[in-house]
């Protein structure tokens, strides 16, 4: 009786795996389980301030806490405002005195810790956005491939992607929101809904400024897709621009009407005026190496120069893309849209002064669409499993390595991971894997693994706060091999891996742009 029951259950489970609804529920439950008692140590403080401002009746830029364009402020604010009608805003966070010492030592941990209630408020919009992106991928891939299995695996490559889950659920970054608007804009342009494409791209720009780099490419693509009729081309470019303009005016009008637009401009350009911090997964990661520490101070003093160099490099890369398009103008515009966008985003990442790992989430939906076009179901399924196996290995190596106080174990695992990725076939799946793995290594090595559980220690009795503090301090002080600290070693290794993935992506996109086939 029991084996039969087991067999029936297993069969049912196996069938469930092929149902997208199962993954939707599983993904959402996983996100809430991971998300309610975890937080990013520094940025959450800004979200808490912003949520309180909105709840107490202040606009996004009345106080100087928020240094981003307004869309995420609106989203976070509206959720906070609505929830504060039933949930006491005073319970959004707690000031943990024990964390002051570690925050002084690291300058990157905040004693203000978000409560599970606040995590629910701030992460729910991100989960919704994750789900909507997953739906768009699922629908688009099923339209293109007419394969249910392929669309489910494409959905999972996004929705169950460890990097996406980490970014939205654990550290609560709003990269999914930028990604959503950018990706939707590409799909709408592909479908020739020019007004809405312009509209959503502007929403992306007003979430985080970088999608602005896509505007010239989109204008060229609109022109190419209507190249036989110049009047159509001009009218469609006008429609796209009108969409962007309407979007910008309506989104920014509350700021104009409350006289806070100037604050918005100052806040979003503040980093340039007050000194840049360089590093992350960008080539500036060289500053982590011994003997190159001066780069950090130099960059801080030469912010404008760095921003100018970044702009020049992007313009040169765009010009190069334009030459490729010009020489192959007879090819279908769809190719330029997908690979061109992918190319521009990767160039944007590589030239950034600081590339925070979650930014890489922006390219994941594009990568997923491109990968599913080229690969069969079996390969996709294997690659999905591989991403999770490697991610588990990273988590395990950090957990066991930190518990045993063993740098060697972590290094061995990271070395194994890197060599596995380098030995992969040089295709877009390798790009996706290297992006995911490098981002996870960088983030885990930023402050150690334990620090993300401060809400768990602060709002439950599961984990003592002192354990988190001790582990973090010990990880923070591990001396490095080629750098000052061990965590810098890991930053540098992960940056190399990330840069490898991005350069590989750029080469593949250039190759594909030159190919005759679609």
Partner 1 sequence: MMKDAYVKIAFFSFLFIVLAGFVIHFFCLTPSFSCGYKIANNHIDFSFYIYFYYPMTINLLVLEENFPVEIKKIFIYYDKNYTGPEKRTAWGLFDHLYSELQIRNYQGNIKMIATQELKSILIKKLVSSQENSLSEAIVLNTMAFPEIFQELGIFIKEWVNKGGILFWIVGKSKFEAQNLTSVFWTKQLILPFYKDCVASKNSFGSKALDLHYPFIFNGLDISMVNFLKGKVLGKIKYRTTSVASIPLGKGYAIMFGGSMPLSSKDIAKDIAQLVISNAFCSNIKQCKTYKIRRFKKESFHEEINYKFFKLNQNLIIYIYQIGEQATFFKKIQILIED
Could you give the 3-state DSSP secondary structure of residue 33? helix
Q: What is the dihedral of CA 378, 375, 344, 161, to 10 degrees?
A: -10
> Contact between 88 and partner 1 (CB under 8 A)?
yes
Q: Would you give the binding string for partner 1 spanning residues 284-313, x where CB under 8 A is met?
A: ----------------x-------------
Q: What is the dihedral of CA 141, 142, 148, 152, to 10 degrees?
A: 40
Task: Compute the least distance from the CB of residue 260 to partner 1, in Å.
Answer: 8
Could you give the 3-state DSSP secondary structure of residue 27? helix
> Contact between 62 and partner 1 (CB under 8 A)?
yes
Q: Would you give the binding string for partner 1 spanning residues 479-508, x where CB under 8 A is met?
A: ------------------------------
CA distances from 205 to 72, 112, 132, 309, 394 (A): 11, 30, 19, 21, 33
> Contact between 203 and partner 1 (CB under 8 A)?
yes
Considering only 17-25, 178-186, 353-361, 426-434, which stretch makes contact with partner 1 by CB under 8 A? 178-186
> Can you give the three-state secondary structure of 81-103, one letter per residue?
HHHCCCCCHHHCEEECCCHHHHH
CA atoms within 13 A on the CB side of 384: 23
Task: Compute the least distance from the CB of residue 78 to partner 1, in Å.
Answer: 4
Chosen residue from 41, 54, 346, 437 binding partner 1 by CB under 8 A: 54
With residue 113 as reference, give the H or E element that holds it: strand 112-114
Task: Compute the least distance from the CB of residue 351 to partner 1, in Å.
Answer: 22
CA distances from 3 to 13, 130, 494 (A): 15, 39, 46
Considering only 88-96, 304-312, 317-325, 503-511, which stretch makes contact with partner 1 by CB under 8 A? 88-96
Task: Compute the least distance from the CB of residue 64 to partner 1, in Å.
Answer: 4
Task: Compute the least distance from the CB of residue 53 to partner 1, in Å.
Answer: 6
Considering only 13-21, 58-66, 321-329, 449-457, which stretch makes contact with partner 1 by CB under 8 A? 58-66
Overall residue count recorded for the chain in this entry? 518
CA distances from 286 to 138, 346, 347, 354, 355 (A): 39, 19, 18, 12, 13
Task: Compute the least distance from the CB of residue 262 to partner 1, in Å.
Answer: 12
Chosen residue from 27, 69, 77, 116 binding partner 1 by CB under 8 A: 77
Backbone angles phi, psi at 193, to 5 degrees: -95, 80
User: How far is it, in rounded angstroms, from Cα 343 to Cα 337?
Assistant: 10
Chosen residue from 1, 85, 146, 462 binding partner 1 by CB under 8 A: 85
Residue closer to partner 1 by CB (options 250, 403) is 250
Q: Among candidates 225, 198, 223, 192, which has minimal Cα distance to 211?
A: 198
Task: Compute the least distance from the CB of residue 7 to partner 1, in Å.
Answer: 39
Chosen residue from 38, 39, 84, 115 binding partner 1 by CB under 8 A: 84
Q: With DSSP H G I counted as helix, E B as strand and the rest as coil, what are the percentages for the chain, rounded to 5?
A: 75, 5, 20
Residue closer to partner 1 by CB (options 71, 164) is 71
Q: Among candidates 335, 369, 344, 346, which has minimal Cα distance to 505?
A: 346
Beta pairing class for 279-280 and 354-355: parallel
Chosen residue from 184, 325, 435, 497 binding partner 1 by CB under 8 A: 184
Q: Among candidates 198, 326, 303, 308, which has minimal Cα distance to 250?
A: 198
Residue closer to partner 1 by CB (options 139, 382) is 139
Chosen residue from 12, 15, 227, 273 binding partner 1 by CB under 8 A: 273
Contacts of the segment 81-90: beta carbons below 8 A, 24+ positions apart: 81/54, 81/55, 83/117, 83/120, 83/121, 84/51, 84/55, 87/117, 87/121, 89/51, 89/52, 89/55, 89/56
Q: Would you give the binding string for partner 1 spanning residues 321-360, x where CB under 8 A is met?
A: ----------------------------------------
Task: Compute the least distance from the CB of residue 148 to partner 1, in Å.
Answer: 17
> Contact between 107 and partner 1 (CB under 8 A)?
yes
Residues 208 to 267: which contact partner 1 by CB under 8 A? 247, 250-251, 253-255, 257-258, 266
Chosen residue from 35, 39, 68, 75 binding partner 1 by CB under 8 A: 75
User: How far is it, in rounded angstroms, from Cα 457 to Cα 235?
Assistant: 58
DSSP letter (8 states) at residue 122:
H
Contacts of 431 (CB under 8 A, 6+ apart): 367, 501, 502, 504, 505, 508
Residue closer to partner 1 by CB (options 171, 201) is 201
Distance of CA 189 to the CA centre of its chain: 22
Residue closer to partner 1 by CB (options 253, 405) is 253
Q: State the number of binding residues for partner 1 (CB under 8 A).
A: 65
Chosen residue from 7, 15, 17, 139 binding partner 1 by CB under 8 A: 139
> Contact between 191 and partner 1 (CB under 8 A)?
yes
Contacts of 390 (CB under 8 A, 6+ apart): 417, 420, 421, 433, 436, 437
Task: Compute the least distance from the CB of residue 163 to partner 1, in Å.
Answer: 23
User: How far is it, in rounded angstroms, from Cα 6 to Cα 10?
Assistant: 6
Residues that bind partner 1 (CB under 8 A): 48-49, 52-60, 62-65, 70-71, 73-75, 77-78, 81, 84-85, 88-90, 93, 97, 100-101, 103-104, 107, 112, 132, 136, 139, 180-181, 184, 187-188, 191, 193, 196, 199-200, 203, 247, 250-251, 253-255, 257-258, 266, 270-271, 273-275, 300
């Amino acid at each position: 009786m029991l084996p039969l029951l087991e067999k029936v259950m297993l069969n049912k489970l196996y069938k469930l795996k092929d149902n997208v609804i199962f993954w939707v529920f599983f993904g959402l439950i996983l996100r809430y389980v991971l998300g309610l008692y975890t937080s990013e140590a520094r940025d959450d403080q800004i979200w808490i301030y912003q949520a309180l401002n909105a709840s107490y009746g202040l606009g996004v830029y009345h106080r100087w806490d928020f240094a981003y364009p307004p869309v995420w402020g609106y989203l976070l604010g509206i959720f906070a405002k609505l929830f504060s009608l039933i949930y006491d805003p005073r319970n959004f966070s707690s000031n943990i005195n024990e964390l002051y010492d570690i925050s002084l030592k690291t300058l990157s941990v905040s004693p203000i810790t978000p409560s599970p209630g606040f995590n629910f408020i701030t992460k729910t919009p991100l989960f919704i956005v994750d789900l909507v992106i997953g739906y768009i991928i699922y629908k688009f891939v099923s339209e293109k491939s007419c394969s249910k299995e392929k669309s489910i695996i494409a959905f999972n490559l996004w929705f169950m992607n460890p990097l996406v889950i980490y970014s939205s659920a654990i550290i609560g970054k709003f990269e999914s929101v930028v990604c959503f608007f950018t990706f939707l804009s590409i799909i709408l342009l592909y479908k020739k809904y020019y007004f809405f494409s312009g509209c959503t791209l502007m929403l992306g720009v007003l979430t985080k400024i970088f999608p602005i780099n896509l505007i010239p490419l989109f204008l060229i693509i609109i022109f190419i897709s209507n190249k036989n009729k110049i009047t159509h081309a001009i009218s469609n470019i006008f429609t796209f621009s009108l969409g962007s303009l309407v979007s910008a005016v309506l989104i920014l009008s509350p700021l104009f009407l409350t006289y806070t637009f100037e604050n918005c401009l100052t806040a979003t350009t503040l980093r340039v005026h007050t000194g840049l911090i360089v590093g992350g997964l960008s080539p500036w990661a060289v500053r982590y190496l011994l003997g190159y520490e001066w780069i950090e101070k130099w960059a801080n003093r030469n912010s404008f120069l760095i921003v100018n160099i970044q702009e020049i490099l992007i313009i040169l890369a765009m010009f190069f893309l334009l030459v490729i398009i010009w020489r192959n103008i007879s090819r279908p515009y769809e190719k330029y849209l997908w690979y061109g966008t992918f190319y521009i985003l990767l160039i944007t990442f590589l030239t950034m002064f600081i590339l925070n790992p979650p930014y890489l989430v922006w390219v994941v939906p594009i990568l997923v669409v491109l990968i599913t076009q080229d690969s069969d179901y079996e390969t996709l399924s294997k690659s999905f499993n591989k991403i999770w196996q490697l991610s588990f290995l990273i988590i395990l190596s950090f957990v066991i390595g930190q518990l045993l106080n063993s740098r060697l174990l972590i290094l061995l695992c990271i070395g194994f991971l890197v060599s596995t990725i380098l030995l992969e076939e040089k295709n877009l799946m390798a790009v996706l894997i290297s992006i995911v793995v490098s981002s996870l290594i960088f983030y885990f090595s930023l402050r150690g693994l334990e620090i993300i559980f401060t809400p768990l220690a602060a709002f439950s009795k599961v984990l003592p706060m002192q354990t988190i503090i001790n582990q973090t301090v010990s990880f923070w002080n591990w001396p490095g091999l080629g750098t000052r600290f061990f965590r810098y070693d890991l930053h540098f290794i992960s940056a190399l891996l990330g840069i490898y993935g991005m350069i590989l992506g750029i080469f593949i996109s250039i190759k594909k742009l030159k190919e005759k086939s679609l």
